[in-house]
Amino acid sequence: MRADGFSRRRKTFLALIPEGAMKDKSTLNFFKVIFIMLVASWLTIFATGAGFLVWSEEIGEGLEIPLLKCTYFTGLNIIKREHVMLKHNFIGDMICPRVIVL
């Protein structure tokens, strides 16, 4: 073990942070708030059972009926759905729905 308390084999995240950066309490409080917000956001997504849009793209533009390929994050996994895309919005969707309920 080295003098700074970290072994050579095991490098942790804290070993990558500069020496005096984590001694400031405001920096620690900032990281705590960010961590709590991320955990609260994930728990909300997980508890609602909804999927939130992450990415969308148009596929099959040369075909007669183009499709939208939508990617959603549900808290546990990523779901891909395809929607029919029609320009006049009679049957399909112009854009991917931002939220889907599973």
Alpha-carbon distance of 96 to 72, in angstroms, equals 10
Which stretch of DSSP H or E encloses residue 12? none
Per-residue model confidence as pLDDT tens digits over 73-92: 988 899 999 888 776 656 66
Per-residue model confidence as pLDDT tens digits over 2-21: 555 555 545 565 566 666 55
Q: Taking the model in full, what pTM does it have?
A: 0.59
Token output for 14: 């804290």
3-state helix, strand, coil in the chain (%, to 5): 30, 25, 45
Domain boundaries along the sequence of the chain = 22-101
